[in-house]
């Protein structure tokens, strides 16, 4: 690039600084003709303390008021009243541009080293200046750090480049209403990551919409697993994933089975805890793991047969006590575990929970867990992006399943030696389904929340990050969203969802949220540490589209007739709780 990126003439001046507070600048407009080209989000350059420096601001308010004036007397007579416009702009400062900064030229950094000075010239950044300025925003990123997301709406010839490192390492959120292009944005980011040698992203797919990304015959690049459904219990398919009950910690298991309102709940929890610990200890003895037995706890993921647990609880529930004279009396635990056993057996008999309570026999092998973890966390160009389909998981147990799997993956990363860790990102699609606001969460959901909130607070130190995706940010845990440092906000029409974004943004950027309901499909506001300039971008289209396209109701009603055979097949899938060819 030759010459400065920003080079203005006097004709491009729109006005002068009239007022300044901590983050905003009031501009008295002197070029009313130019004002008609200025809109919300327009970039403004304010002359800095030196000729080589400009403060870069973004317009968030443009006003015109009319006032009546008496003309100057002419020929000794007063004319009639005239109406003249009074134009003003308000903008917030977002960074500093320098034509020369030490040995570097054409640099931009976030934040201002000094406040704008009164009466300084203000210029609109447009045309060639805008094109050159947008071009320098991603120029400072090295080639292996660049994450291309699309183009700038303000200048579609300039690529919108984010820092891939900062986008993933500090948690991120993709938020947008249904039909705004959210799934395409996810597919685009996964597509970009798949081009790296050793990407490691685990996608929690709630509706199976990312299945095409694993279809290698159509350009897919991911590996897909399914949480096993009822149809997998007899003969599991290769892609079926089981999460055996013994992976759950004590609190997760009890949240599913224990009724806290039962007066015998403390006794039931006590016997459950004791028996599980003993059964896990027996497994360690049988496997020759004496070293592990010295330090394991009831929460350690060690296999045991749930049938043995039920048998022990039934013995407790029926064993008589011995009185002072040797006569049989009511036992210490007799009849106190009846309801607990019945609730546990109901879960064991429910085929919807087969992925948890009816895993294949080999899952009781001590080495089974390590083999599953290797399958989920290995990373290379063919297996780096892992998509886990949760669409067949019952809604009432979805939080425990997602929470258990997230906790398990995080714990493996936590206990790995620091030098051996490679970064992992967990992409949480439809996060509002299992990461609700804490005040609205039931006992089951709170267990999942605890796992994800721990990752949000501590994960960055251990190379484990979250990418939260939701169409209802107002229903997602505040703790988790507040830990996200990067936001890709697509169209949001609901006011409560917009307010969530406002609360998460610095006060100086709140004006940008006025754009949220006006964004076109595939457009987004990109904010956070990963980009120097918060801006509106047009996302690129992914090469492999997710199975989430909005259907053309009116057109299809006019051309497509429902297939009776397929309707009958869907009824059979409903009855069997298994998708044909799933």
- Cα distance between residue 62 and residue 542, in whole Å: 36
- Cα distance between residue 150 and residue 133, in whole Å: 16
- Cα distance between residue 2 and residue 190, in whole Å: 36
The helix-helix angle for 398-415 and 443-458 (nearest 10°) equals: 30
Among candidates 319, 341, 356, which has minimal Cα distance to 272?
341
- Cα distance between residue 434 and residue 502, in whole Å: 23
3-state DSSP assignment of residue 135 = helix
Helices assigned H by DSSP within 380-474: 398-415, 443-458
The pLDDT value recorded for residue 52 is 85
Beta strands in 242-399 (DSSP E): 321-322, 328-329, 385-389
Compute how many other C-beta atoms are within 10 angstroms of the C-beta atom of residue 242.
Answer: 21
The third-level CATH classification (topology) of the domain covering 10-72+82-137 is Elongation Factor Tu (Ef-tu); domain 3 (2.40.30)
| Residues 88/26, Cβ–Cβ less than 8 Å | yes
Show Cβ contacts of residue 144 under 8 Å, excluding neighbours closer than 6 positions.
Answer: none
* Dihedral, 413, 418, 424, 426 alpha carbons, nearest 10: 40
Eight-state DSSP code of residue 146: E
Among candidates 217, 219, 213, 243, which has minimal Cα distance to 427?
213
- Cα distance between residue 451 and residue 315, in whole Å: 34
The pLDDT value recorded for residue 580 is 54
12 φ/ψ sector (left φ>0, alpha ψ -120 to 50, else beta): alpha
Q: How many CA atoms lie within 13 Å of 385's alpha carbon, on the beta-carbon side?
A: 25
| Residues 70/105, Cβ–Cβ less than 8 Å | no
* Residuewise pLDDT in 10s, the chain (582 residues): 456 788 888 888 999 999 998 778 999 999 888 888 888 788 999 999 888 899 999 888 888 887 777 666 655 555 677 777 789 999 988 889 998 887 888 888 888 878 889 999 999 998 888 888 888 887 778 888 899 999 888 878 888 889 999 999 889 999 999 888 999 999 999 999 999 989 999 999 999 899 999 998 888 999 999 998 887 888 888 888 999 999 988 988 888 888 888 888 999 999 999 999 999 999 999 999 999 999 999 999 999 999 999 999 999 998 887 777 767 778 888 888 999 999 999 989 988 888 899 999 999 999 999 999 998 888 776 778 999 999 888 787 788 889 889 999 999 999 998 888 899 999 999 999 888 888 777 777 787 888 899 999 999 899 999 999 999 999 999 999 999 999 999 999 888 988 888 888 776 677 677 788 888 999 999 988 888 888 889 999 999 999 876 778 888 888 888 888 888 888 887 777 666 554
Q: Where in the chain is the domain with CATH 3.40.50.300?
A: 159-222+367-548
> What backbone torsions phi and psi does residue 59 show, to the nearest 5 degrees?
-70, 135
3-state DSSP assignment of residue 307 = helix
Structure tokens at 311: 């048998």
Among candidates 579, 251, 236, 266, which has minimal Cα distance to 399?
251
Gyration radius (Cα) of the chain, Å: 31
Single pTM value for the model: 0.85
Q: Where in the chain is the domain with CATH 2.40.30?
A: 10-72+82-137
| Residues 479/460, Cβ–Cβ less than 8 Å | no
From residue 390, alpha-carbon distances to 106, 236, 347, 399 in Å are 49, 16, 18, 11
Residues in the chain, total: 582
Q: How far is CA 79 from the centre of its chain?
A: 65
The third-level CATH classification (topology) of the domain covering 159-222+367-548 is Rossmann fold (3.40.50)
DSSP output for 393-416: S-GGGHHHHHHHHHHHHHHHHHHS
Eight-state DSSP code of residue 476: B
- Cα distance between residue 551 and residue 409, in whole Å: 36
């Amino acid at each position: 690039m030759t010459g400065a990126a920003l080079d203005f003439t006097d004709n491009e001046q729109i006005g002068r600084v009239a007022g300044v507070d901590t983050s905003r600048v009031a501009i008295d407009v002197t070029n009313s003709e130019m004002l008609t080209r200025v809109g919300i989000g327009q970039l403004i350059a304010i002359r800095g303390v030196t000729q080589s420096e400009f403060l870069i601001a973004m317009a968030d308010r443009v006003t015109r008021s009319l006032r009546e004036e008496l003309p100057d007397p002419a020929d000794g007579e007063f004319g009639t009243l005239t109406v003249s416009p009074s134009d003003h702009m308000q903008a917030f400062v977002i960074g500093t541009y320098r034509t020369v900064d030490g040995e570097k030229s054409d640099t931009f950094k976030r934040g201002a080293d000094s406040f704008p000075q009164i009466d300084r010239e203000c210029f609109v950044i447009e045309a060639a200046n805008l094109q050159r300025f947008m071009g320098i925003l991603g120029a400072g990123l090295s080639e292996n750090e660049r994450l291309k997301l699309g183009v700038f709406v303000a200048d579609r010839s300039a690529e919108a480049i984010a820092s891939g490192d900062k986008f993933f390492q500090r948690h991120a959120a993709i938020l947008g209403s249904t039909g705004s292009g959210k799934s395409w944005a996810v597919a685009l980011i996964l597509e970009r990551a798949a081009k790296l040698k050793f990407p490691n992203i685990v996608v929690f797919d709630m509706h199976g919409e990312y299945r095409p990304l694993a279809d290698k015959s159509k350009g897919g690049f991911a590996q897909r697993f399914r949480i096993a459904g009822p149809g997998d219990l007899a003969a599991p398919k290769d892609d079926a994933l089981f999460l055996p009950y013994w992976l759950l910690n004590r609190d997760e298991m009890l949240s599913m089975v224990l009724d806290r309102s039962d007066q015998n709940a403390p006794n039931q929890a006590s016997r459950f805890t004791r028996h599980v610990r003993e059964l896990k200890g027996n497994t360690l003895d049988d496997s020759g793991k004496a070293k592990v037995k010295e330090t394991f706890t009831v929460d350690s993921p060690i296999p045991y047969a749930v049938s043995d647990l039920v048998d022990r609880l039934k013995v407790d529930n029926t064993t008589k006590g011995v009185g002072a004279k040797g006569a049989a009396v009511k036992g210490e635990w007799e009849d106190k575990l009846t309801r607990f056993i019945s609730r546990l057996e109901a879960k064991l008999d429910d085929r919807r929970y087969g992925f948890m309570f009816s895993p294949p026999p080999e899952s009781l092998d001590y080495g089974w867990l390590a083999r599953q973890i290797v399958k989920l966390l290995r990373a290379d160009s063919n297996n780096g992006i892992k998509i886990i389909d949760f669409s067949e998981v019952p809604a009432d147990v979805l939080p425990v399943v997602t929470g258990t799997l997230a906790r398990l993956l995080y714990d493996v990363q936590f206990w790995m030696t620091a030098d051996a860790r490679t970064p992992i990102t967990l992409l949480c699609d439809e996060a509002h389904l299992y990461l609700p606001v804490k005040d609205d969460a039931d006992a089951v959901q709170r267990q999942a929340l605890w796992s994800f909130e721990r990752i949000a607070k501590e994960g960055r130190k251990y190379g484990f990050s979250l990418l939260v995706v939701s169409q209802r940010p107002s229903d997602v845990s505040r703790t988790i969203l507040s830990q996200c440092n990067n936001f890709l906000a697509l169209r949001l029409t609901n006011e409560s969802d917009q307010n969530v974004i406002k609360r998460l943004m610095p006060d100086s950027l709140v004006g940008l949220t006025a754009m949220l309901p006006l964004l076109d499909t595939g457009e987004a506001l990109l904010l956070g540490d990963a980009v120097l300039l918060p801006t509106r971008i047009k996302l690129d289209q992914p090469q492999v589209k997710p199975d989430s396209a909005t259907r053309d109701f009116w057109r299809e009603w006019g051309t497509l007739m429902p297939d009776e055979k397929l309707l009958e097949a869907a009824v059979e899938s409903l009855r069997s709780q298994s998708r044909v060819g799933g």
